[in-house]
Amino acid sequence: MSATDHIRIFDTTLRDGEQSPGCSMSPQQKAVMARALAELGVDIIETGFPASSLSDREAAALIARELRETTLCVLSRCLPGDIEASARVLQAAAKPRLHVFLSTSPLHREHKLRMSKDEVLETTARNVAYARSFVDDVEFSTEDGTRTEEDFLAEVIGAAIAAGATTVNVPDTLGYTTPAEMRGLFQRLIAGVPGAEGVVFSAHCHNDLGMAVANSLAAIEGGARQVECTINGIGERAGNCAMEELVMALKVRGAYFEADTRIDTRRLVPTSQLLSRLVGMPVQRNKAIVGANAFAHESGIHQHGMLRHRGTYEIMNPEDVGWPSSQMVLGRHSGRAAVAHRLRALGHPLENEALDRVFADFKSLCETQRVVDDVDLQRLMQGDRVGDGYRLASMTVSDRGQRASAQIELSDPDGLRIIESALGDGPVDALFAALAAATDVDLKLESYQVHSVGIGNDARGEANLSVRCDEAEYQGTGTSKDIIEASALAWLDIANRVLRTRQPQRMSAMA
């Protein structure tokens, strides 16, 4: 092993992450996220599962036309039709990779595939070879690989390599493995499978027992040189390996792992916040690296130590993972210079027309939002359209007497004004009823939380909603000085997403 081996970061936020409940994104939102992932420095972006939905095909093709430096990958089952659909959307890509998968475990062979071992081997070889007829970069995944008989797993991997696979991924699909098992498995496979020295081994870990990051690191110790992960660890059930945690573990403990990534760690927090905003899923406050409390020191002993020497209670600098050294809030009274200053601090030194364009979008955003934070600025920089959908112009809520009442004024997607009022069992109930009447979107509320973010004069209320609509789950976030207004913004955040993403139902992909 060389002094520091390069670990390839394979991001599957847009495929495995996006297919988890409440995390669906429109093709345009996926393109915004893909740009941010490319700037973050990931090696491979998995952009979708083209055979599963029209939306995935649109997103993958859109991203393929735009991102020229990053390897772009799409997922296919071992079916010729899937592989052809994938090859078509990657036609425009500069660096295309086809990813095909097949279950290998006894349970999956018997109950999902109804295939014998020989059929699995033959299907693997045939489809990997077919994928190689389109592109030179082919990844093969053994779904539920960690619950597969090890000798058979090695046989399947050998067949995939012989058929032309260039990356072999062994997923811990159910989040079942332990780190010691994972390390040993990779060591034995890499030492024992014919042709293993010519391919990259990859880990894909789920977090059902909270071990996705630990198992991925163990796979690296066992010889894996690619890790599949997602921003904020989003993904099926308990999620995938969290990229920010894995990347910082390799960075902080680089001497131990003798491995590193090409991730620009100062973009981790902005990228985490961008995803959180795009899918409306807040990051838990005590989440490592990107949670709001990850670098907060409240206890007196800790603060005392920190003031003397930072290293007493901190193993990373918050700036190194992208936390701003001080929170600065911009709003409708902020001028062009203040916006330019903040953008420069975020790594976007803009001038002239480029600054004019972002400043115009900023002003437009200020019409509906009282405060504009770093995440909003990142979204503007990524070209996320702020004018789309319904926007809140004004609202009045009163809670006197038996029932509360709310009156709202919105501008609709065409800029027309809509005024609506409604009664309810409380101010929020009345507000949501008025919004539903104005937009004709029916959201079934599942959970509603408000909490404060920021401190002192910058303190704001953040509302988080989980709802069901069109038989799908959605989450939304709104921020304002006023929690009722934050609730209205969260509601509109979801309604606008519902309107943007109304599309045919997708089928389920690999976990």
Q: How many residues bind Zn ion (CB under 5 A)?
A: 2
Closer to Zn ion at the Cβ: 86 or 240?
Answer: 240
Give min distance, CB of 236 to Zn ion, in A.
6
What gap in Å lies between CA 156 and CA 296, rounded to an integer?
48
Of 486 and 511, which has the nearer Cβ to Zn ion?
Answer: 511
Please tell me the distance from the alpha carbon of residue 368 to that of residue 477, in angstroms, as a whole number: 14
Neighbour count for residue 34 (Cβ, 10 Å): 26
Q: DSSP readout, 53-115?
A: -HHHHHHHHHHHHH--SSEEEEEEES-HHHHHHHHHHTTT-SSEEEEEEEE-SHHIIIIII--
CA pair distance 16, 254, nearest whole angstrom: 28
Radius of gyration of the chain (CA): 24
* Subset of residues 472 to 511 that bind Zn ion, contact rule: CB under 5 A: 511
Closest to Zn ion by CB, 16 or 376 = 16
What is the C-alpha separation between 198 and 196, in angstroms, rounded? 5
Residue that has been written with the tokens 């709104």 in this structure = 478
Minimum CB separation from Zn ion for residue 138, in Å? 18
Query: Is residue 423 within a helix (H) or strand (E), and if so which, with residue range?
Result: strand 417-424
Q: Kindly tell me which of 16 and 384 has the beta carbon lying closer to Zn ion.
A: 16
Q: Looking at beta carbons, which residue is closest to Zn ion?
A: 16
Q: How far is the CB of 149 from Zn ion (least distance, A)?
A: 21
Shortest Å, Cβ 508 to Zn ion: 11
- Widest distance between CA atoms in the chain: 78
Smallest gap, in angstroms, from Cβ of residue 198 to Zn ion? 25
Closest Cα to residue 232, out of 279, 173, 182, 200?
A: 279
CA-based nearest residue to 288, from 242, 319, 220: 242
Choose between 90 and 511: whose C-beta lies nearer to Zn ion. Answer: 511
Residues 7-66 that bind Zn ion (CB under 5 A): 16
Q: For the segment 178-197, give every residue that binds Zn ion (CB under 5 A).
A: none
Cβ-based nearer residue to Zn ion, 112 or 285: 112
Tell the residue number behind the tokens 């997103």, with chain if given. 59
Tokens of 288: 């490592």
Nearest approach, Cβ of residue 187 and Zn ion (Å): 23
What character string, x for contact with Zn ion (CB under 5 A) and - otherwise, covers 309-328?
Answer: --------------------
Residues 67, 85, 206: CA angle, nearest 5 degrees: 70
User: Measured from the CB atom, is 16 or 374 closer to Zn ion?
Assistant: 16
Contact 272, 248 (CB under 8 A): no
The length of the chain, given as a count of residues:
511
> For residues 234 and 511, which CB has a smaller minimum distance to Zn ion in the complex?
511
Q: Which is nearer to Zn ion, 435 or 510 (CB)?
A: 510
Structure tokens at 74: 């799409």
Judged by CB, which is closer to Zn ion: 212, or 321?
Answer: 212
- Strands 226-229, 200-205: pairing is parallel
**Quick one: 199 or 511, whose CB is closer to Zn ion?**
511
* Smallest distance, Zn ion to C-beta of residue 226, A: 14
Binning the chain into helix, strand and coil, the percentages to the nearest 5 are 45, 20, 35
CB of 229 to Zn ion, least distance (A): 10
Q: Cβ of residue 239: shortest distance to Zn ion, in angstroms?
A: 9
Q: Helix, strand, or coil here: 159?
A: helix
| CA–centroid distance for 226 within its chain | 18
Report the C-alpha gap between 331 and 197 in whole angstroms.
Answer: 56
Nearer CB in complex with Zn ion: 44/489: 44
Closest approach, Cβ 125 to Zn ion, in A, equals 23
Residue by residue, what is the 3-state secondary structure of 345-391? HCCCCCCHHHHHHHHHHHHHHHCCCCEECHHHHHHHHCCCCCCCCCE
- Count of CB atoms situated within 10 Å of the CB of 298: 7
| Minimum distance, C-beta of residue 91 to Zn ion, in the bound complex (Å) | 26
Separation of alpha carbons 45 and 32, rounded Å: 13
- Residue 172 near Zn ion by CB under 5 A: no
Name the β-bridge partners of 418.
Answer: 410
Q: How far is CA 46 from the centre of its chain?
A: 11
Q: Please, what is the minimum distance in Å from the beta carbon of residue 46 to Zn ion?
A: 10
Sorted by sequence, the CB contacts under 8 Å of residue 253 that are 6+ apart come out as none
Residue placing its CB nearer to Zn ion in the complex, 16 or 373: 16
CB of 189 to Zn ion, least distance (A): 19
Footprint of Zn ion on this chain (CB under 5 A)? 16, 511
